[in-house]
Chains A and B, each alone.
Chain A
Amino acid sequence: MNWAPNNIPEILAATWQHLVLSVSSVAIGLVIALVLGILCARNQKLYAFVLTITGIIFVIPSLALFALLIPWLGLGMKPALVGLSSYCLLILLRNVVTGLRGVPAEVLDAADGMGYSARQRLLRIELPLALPLIVSGIRIALVTVIGIATVAAFIDGGGLGTIILMGIDQEYPEKILVGGILTALMATFFDLLLSQAEKRMMRGR
């Protein structure tokens, strides 16, 4: 171990980049999944169609998906963000729709009876009740994306994958270990953090 202690700023920068890339990809994915999910919760045909499309994207290996984006988006952060956020769509969408559908019919009836408009009902009743499942979706998506984001280094997307790649090119095992372990720690951290959040939300239900 003599590279890491002397290159803390570089490592921190890569870690930060990795974090920003992963979190923003999941955030973009979440916005899309929420919009699609709200539409799909009431429309089974649309849901089946969207599930097929997002399922196809999910199965395509990450490097191939990035490679398919390069002709349109070039190299760098842009194709990485697009690729990673389309990756987590399937996970997020499934949880949003399952969460929304899990709201009991009596609760919806009661909200209607109290004179809630469709939008009020969605914002004040349905989404809050679906929140634990949505958070669980965010957790799985984030853990998945943090791992896949290392591959983004190949298309100049930055992040901890860059350190792993350097390690491969220079045959320097320490860099591979530093990149790999930091990625694993980041994934584990968010896994624990968000499962805690889930548990807290489920308490008192």
Chain B
Amino acid sequence: MLATAFTWIIEHQPEFYQALGQHLVMSGVSLAIALAIGLPLAVFIVNRSNFALVIINSVNALRTVPSLAILAIMMPLLGIGLWPSIVALTILALPPILLNAFVGLRDVDPDAVEAAIGMGMSRGQVLRKIRIPLAAPAMFAGARTAAVQVLAGATLAPFIGGGGLGDFIAVGISMMDMSRLLVGAVPIALLALATEFILGLAERIFFSERATA
């Protein structure tokens, strides 16, 4: 079955690469947008407890909505195609990025903050020079969780016409064609595992000294 799947990929390279490309573009763009919204938002709310309460609670509520429903509801709102999927995946990626960054910024060692204030740093300086650098590992961890979630969510995009590797699974299920199922499932699984592994490795390389300190 795996061999048949592999042969199919060799014989249909353009089709396969197009789906792979869609999958990667969709995931990459949504992750980038979610980072561009989530990180500044976390910085904005960390010293404003009223905002923080509202935003953190709404994000937590958002997390209980299944990814399938978030994708599905984009169709009546935005139609079909790549963009509705990107919007949905951005919404999926936002909670882990925002929550991790917020908790990381908030729980920075109070001694370090106090020392910085004692040295005469302004609030903005404390944020830029102390809080953000010290919270970087937590932010990265959030981005890593979000990346894996987005790749998983992107698998569901074909059901709202978003394309990607999930297309092969959808076709495989509807035709009960096992090898076509694997053409989608195996690359998707490998992609998610490779992402998790590489980002985990990067996390260890970048932040290992500080994590142990």
Verify B169–A63 contact, CB threshold 8 A.
Answer: yes
**Distance to closest chain A CB from B136 (angstroms):** 23
Interface majority SS (helix, strand, loop, mixed), chain B: helix
Chain A residues within an 8 Å CB radius of B70: 180
Per the CB 8 Å criterion, the residue count for chain A at the interface is: 39
Chain B residues within an 8 Å CB radius of A61: 151-153, 155, 188-189, 192
The answer to whether the Cβ of B61 comes within 8 Å of any Cβ in the partner chain is: yes
Per the CB 8 Å criterion, the residue count for chain B at the interface is: 37
Q: A61-B155, A61-B188, A188-B61 are in contact. Are A148 and B172 (CB under 8 A)?
A: no
Q: Which B residues have a C-beta under 8 Å from some C-beta of A?
A: 1, 61, 64-70, 72-73, 75-76, 148, 151-153, 155-156, 159-160, 166, 169-170, 172-173, 178, 181-182, 184-186, 188-189, 192-193, 196
Q: Which A residues have a C-beta under 8 Å from some C-beta of B?
A: 56, 59-65, 67-68, 70-71, 75, 143, 146-148, 150-151, 153-155, 161, 164-165, 167-168, 171, 173, 176-177, 179-181, 183-184, 187-188, 191
Q: List 22 A-B contacts (CB under 8 A).
A: A59-B193, A60-B188, A61-B153, A61-B188, A64-B155, A67-B173, A68-B185, A70-B178, A71-B182, A75-B173, A146-B66, A147-B64, A147-B66, A150-B69, A151-B68, A154-B170, A154-B173, A173-B76, A176-B76, A183-B64, A183-B66, A183-B69
